[in-house]
Amino acid sequence: MTITVATEAAAAGLPAVRPYESYVYAYPHKTAYRPLEDRPSLRSLWAAEPKDALSLYTHIPFCEVRCGFCNLFTRIGAPDELTTRYLDALERQAVAARDALGDEASVRFAAVAFGGGTPTFLTAGELERLCDIAERRMGAELRSVPLSVETSPSTATADRLAVLADRGTTRISIGVQSFVDEEARAAVRPQRRADVEAALGRIREAEIPLLNIDLIYGIDGQTERSWLASLDAALAWRPEELYLYPLYVRPLTGLHRLGAAAGSEAGAEAEALEQTAWDEQRLRLYAVGRDHLLEHGYEQVSMRMFRRADAPREQEGPGDYACQTDGMIGLGCGARSYTGALHYSFDYAVDMREIRSIIDRFTAAEDFSRAEAGRYVDVDEARRRHLLQSLLQAAGMPVADYRARFGTDPVADFPAELAGFAARGWLDTSAPDGLLRLSPSGLAHSDALGPTLFSPGVRAAMAAYERK
């Protein structure tokens, strides 16, 4: 199925939309967070929360290099024993977080993830300590629950992987982005295919049950042929999961700075045509990648995530994260925590100098008993979050689940938004009664559909955020 910007814009005479407005991996976005004047205690925030199926996410903000497309909270390198000081602070934070959960009710972690940055930037010994913090300080039983860990080709060494396998890792995710060396360079990601293949070999030798490979489409110079070559190189390893990401060039990233430095004498009309051509390229490559994976025995879970149909389900990690409900403890200065009423974290930045400053403040902190920055979530925001993060899954959203949680009907709560999706052909008219599900075109336009559900308040806060 071919998807184009023009044909979708023409549907029902509706105005054109940008298919790649924003990747909605969490709502509200951290740019809507603000310093919390009341600085509520974690103990008060978690006092009435269910604690029998929590998620634990630990953020390691270090990488060997920073890719040109990356706007994640991470810094290059860790001089002067910074990783040791960071783990010291992480342990202090874990003690405070576990104390806040209390012992009045059963506390259990149902899933754990180590992300970043690059968690395997840590040495094998430091990874052992990271696992100890999760187990001994937080009480997470790593060998009994799904444990997902992110890695990179240069840090997926045998000794690190051995630690992760021994401590119960069920899923490892490696960012490859492209198996074509020229494309990797164009994305400002210095790597060689030979090194990528060697890392994948070590991962398979470690016998971690589930392998995920991340790939990117829309890179400068990428063609359908080269995109299929990367897909086939990944498929040769029979990964249980594949994530296909559209390239974004976000403010303050390396690619954005390169584009700004190059400058352009083209007028606004020419720039708009160039943007439309790039949108068309990404939509075309998305469809090529989707169809190729479906033909090779993969199931589509979301716009980005594809799962091998015969992959063992009992060993899966947390999958395509869509936390419609709450109950997440985040450790580390780039991690979020979610309660039913408040999403909280620390300060957020993309610029490297700002990130270094935030990490330095985190490592020097002694008191982690209060929430510093975040956004309160009322019933309307909870409804939006549930609809958004359910609808963006290929399986769709059972209306009965929404009604059971909120006592209302999503069509009544979001009449204009859902009518707009239907008019554009983004809703699956063949879905069974009681199921809201996106059509193939709707899934392809997830990055346009998702932001449509942002509340006016969140939009205003994101627009007012000062990038740093």
Q: What is the DSSP string of 332-384?
A: STT--EE-SSEEEE-----SHHHHHHHHHHHHH----SB--EEEE--HHHHHH
Nearest alpha carbon to residue 195 among 174, 215, 212: 174
Reading the block at residue 61, the tokens are 């903000």
**Mode of pairing for the β-strands spanning 171-177 and 147-151:** parallel
What does 156-223 look like in DSSP terms, one character per residue? --HHHHHHHHHTT--EEEEEEE-SSHHHHHHTT----HHHHHHHHHHHHHHT-SEEEEEEEE--TT--
Amino acid code (one letter) for 289:
G
DSSP 8-state assignment for residue 90? H
Burial of 28 (0-12, 13-18, 19+ CB in 10 A): buried
> 191 with 184: CB under 8 angstroms?
yes
Distance, in Å, from the CA atom of 206 to the CA atom of 418, rounded to the nearest integer, reads 46
What distance in Å separates the CA atoms of residue 437 and residue 391, rounded to the nearest whole number?
6
Which residue shows structure tokens 């009907």?
409
User: Exposure string (b/e) for 91-120, b if CB count within 10 Å is 16 or more?
Assistant: bbbbebbbebbeeeeebebebbbbbbbbbb
**Beta strands 210-217; 241-246: pairing state:** parallel
pLDDT at 65: 74
What is the C-alpha to C-alpha distance for residues 252 and 112, in angstroms, rounded to an integer? 30
Look up residue 432 and give its DSSP letter.
P
Say how far apart CA 294 and CA 349 lie, in whole Å.
Answer: 37
Collapsing DSSP states into helix, strand and coil, what is residue 325? Answer: coil
Question: How would you class 78 by CB atoms within 10 Å of its CB: exposed for 0-12, middle for 13-18, buried for 19 or more?
Answer: buried
Q: Which residues of the chain have pLDDT under 70?
A: 1-12, 66-71, 250-271, 314-326
Q: What is the pLDDT of residue 3?
A: 56
Give the model's pLDDT for residue 24: 87
Residues 406 and 259: their CA atoms lie apart, in Å, by 46
3-state secondary structure of 235: helix
pLDDT recorded at residue 261: 47
User: Quick count: other Cβ atoms within 10 Å of Cβ 15?
Assistant: 5
For 341, residues 6+ apart whose C-beta sits below 8 A from its C-beta are 45, 376, 377
CB contact at 8 A, 26 and 381: no
pLDDT at residue 317, as a whole number: 43
Angle at 429 between CA 456 and CA 18, to 5 degrees: 40
C-alpha distances in angstroms, 135 versus 130, 147, 197?
9, 12, 32
The conformational region for residue 421 under phi > 0 = left, psi -120 to 50 = alpha, else beta, is: alpha
Where are any strands of DSSP class E within 240-368? 241-246, 298-300, 305-308, 328-331, 337-338, 342-345
Q: What pLDDT is recorded for position 71?
A: 60
